[in-house]
Amino acid sequence: MVVKLGKGQCGGHVTLLFAIADNVEALEKQGSLGAGLCLKDGIEAISRGEPGSFKLDINFINGNGDVGLYQDVVKVLSLEIPEIKNYSWELNIRFSLPVSQGFGMSASGAIAAASSFQRALGISHEESRRRSYLIAHIVERMRSTGLGDTTALASGGVERRIVEGSPYSSNLLIKGPGISEGWTKDIPLILAWKSKSGSHTSDYIDHVEWKKKITNAGLKKMKTIGEGKWDSSRWRELLDASKDFASESGLLLDSKRSIILEDANRVIEANNLEDECMALLCMLGESIVIVPKNLSSLDFKIDTVCNDLRKIGYQTIITEVSKLS
């Protein structure tokens, strides 16, 4: 008996500003415009398949995941790769970031899982990579768990999404309707969150009034963020636009996010770091990312800030901006 083994990995993603674009029927053409940070840490998926009647056993390591997400990945993937139904699978998912906190973990998990199954079946890296982004994007839209995370992750680094939709499409896996651009540097980041899970993404993107507020604020910021060359010279502009978006969209005052931001700012001020770093809200979680203000000065007492946040009830992790995909 030949056992199939495959591995997939994908970092998380923090959305800093966005505008919803889901007014077309085709799922691969839905998505969002916006900008954010792709993360080094995320999800690793390892699949093991034995020939026989189809079955899927899912194990979560270092976290609690959504079984339905991975069942849907297999369901959608099997339409493209029917061979997957000829095996009994064990799928192990290892988390390095929490779910339901605004870190794009549903997209990350879907991409990693789809990739692991395809690699187990001997599909080439490039083909499986492209198909994984398409599958993840479709599953995200089916479930209303995300809009543009997969498109963002397809570029990597500090990204902007200038056309909505999946980054790849069709059976040929040619370039899809979605377009994202990224640049990268070694930028350290602090993620901080409360142990309680945040609101579900669909609570916002499927709500008429929230969609209007978010999209109006996001489109306003994309008029400048979406134009011109996208590189490290735009860093401070992105930070300022993200801060404005949180306020103008109304998301800052919703779900006590302002309290989270106030706590982080007090820690920053107590350590005299106002000129070195700033806290930004992660959309759509109840969490923050603390980033350096100046890319030429990346030392902002990261360990001290993390320790101080933990003392007031936050969980933290130190990560960094990912490489380009």
Q: What is the pLDDT of residues 198-236, one digit of tens each?
A: 566 778 888 889 999 999 999 999 999 999 999 999 999
- Report d(CA 180, CA 287) in Å as an integer: 24
Q: What is the mean pLDDT of the chain?
A: 95
Site of tokens 């495959």: 6
User: Is position 325 within any domain?
Assistant: no
Q: Could you tell me the maximum CA-CA distance found in the chain, to the nearest angstrom? A: 63
> Percent of the chain beyond pLDDT 90?
89
Task: Check pLDDT > 90 for residue 7.
Answer: yes
Q: Report the domain count for the chain.
A: 2
Q: Of the residues 152, 180, 208, which one is the last residue of a structural domain?
A: 180
In this prediction, residue 198 carries a pLDDT of 57
In this prediction, residue 205 carries a pLDDT of 87
Same domain, 252 and 283: yes
Q: Of the residues 124, 157, 180, which one is the last residue of a structural domain?
A: 180
Bridge pairing between strands 55-61 and 87-95: parallel
Mean predicted confidence (pLDDT) in 181-208: 87
Which residue(s) pair with 93 in the sheet? 45, 60
- Structural domain including 134 reads 4-180
User: Is position 207 within any domain?
Assistant: yes
Q: CATH no. for residue 221?
A: 3.30.70
pLDDT bracket for residue 123 (50, 70, 90)? very high
Q: Which residues contact 156 (CB under 8 A, 6 or more apart)?
A: 11, 38, 182, 184, 322, 323, 324, 325
- Which alpha helices (H) appear in the chain, and where do they start and end? 67-80, 105-120, 125-143, 149-155, 202-205, 208-225, 235-248, 257-270, 302-311
Same domain, 210 and 162: no
Instruction: Tokens for 228, please give them.
Output: 């011109």
Q: Of the residues 138, 158, 180, which one is the last residue of a structural domain?
A: 180
206 touches 177 (CB < 8 A):
no
Task: Check pLDDT > 90 for residue 179.
Answer: yes
- Report d(CA 241, CA 223) in Å as an integer: 11
In this prediction, residue 256 carries a pLDDT of 82
The pTM of the full predicted model, rounded to 2 decimals, is 0.96
